[in-house]
Amino acid sequence: MASIRRTTMTPTKLELLAGWLPKQSWYVGGGEAPELVRAGGFRLDDPEGAVGIEFMVVVDTTARDPAAYLVPMGYRGAALDSVPGEALIGTSEHGVLGTRWIYDGVHDPVVMAQLRALLCGKAVPQHQSRSDTPDTSVTVHGTGPDDALDVQVNRVLRSGAVSRTSSPSLVAGWTWPDGTAVRGVFAAVRGRAVAERGT
């Protein structure tokens, strides 16, 4: 089960993401630096206990219409080999664990393996900020037959469209700066899930 350590990270995750997000091709913000707030997310366990896994939703409040981004992250105690340079979000000094290499989770094999396991019903989502606490608000619609799934992570989140097909899709929630709580599809099996309007 995910264990959350109450300590400091320097720089913070939001500070690292504020510099990393605008460099991504899927970033929809303008020319000014984003002002990010944490808006939601959950964690997954690494069965080996070596990699911290977090799916974080951040909202950029600088735009007239705030944008919500999903950033899966893998927290590691050493640099990853054989991943593109842009996969590294940055490094941070953790008050307990020391230097952590923080990777964009879509390039981290452990993160993606556990996401596939979740879509197959073989992993349990964990609360983002409480230790040993499953997050029952995170749901999977449909399940895959095995772990060899081609998964699409939705980087820019849209509320209101929830998959009702048999194809696996991951649905979770986040909160807009005005306090409105919404849900949407975080990830789905590529080419198989078709979004339908949900309630």
Quick check: is 77 in a domain?
yes
Query: The tokens 């073989």 sit on which residue?
Result: 122
Total structural domains in the chain? 1
Could you list the residue range(s) of the whole structural domain that residue 59 is in?
Answer: 9-197
pTM surpassing 0.75?
yes
Quick check: is 155 in a domain?
yes
pLDDT, residue 196, reads 31
Pairing of β 52-60 and β 67-76: antiparallel
Residues 9-59 have pLDDT tens digits of 889 999 999 999 999 999 998 877 899 999 999 999 999 999 999 999 999
Residues 59-117 have pLDDT tens digits of 999 877 889 999 999 999 999 988 888 899 999 998 777 899 999 999 999 999 999 99
- In whole angstroms, give the CA distance from residue 95 to residue 52: 15
Quick check: is 142 in a domain?
yes
Q: What do you get for the CA distance between the two ends of the chain, in Å?
A: 31
Quick check: is 74 in a domain?
yes
Q: Which of 114, 90, 93, 113 is nearest to 102 (CA)?
A: 90
Quick check: is 4 in a domain?
no
Q: Which of 199, 11, 3, 4 is nearest to 94 (CA)?
A: 11
Q: Is 149 or 42 the better-scoring residue by pLDDT?
A: 42
Quick check: is 62 in a domain?
yes
Quick check: is 2 in a domain?
no
User: Average pLDDT for residues 174-186, to the nearest whole number?
Assistant: 95
Quick check: is 165 in a domain?
yes
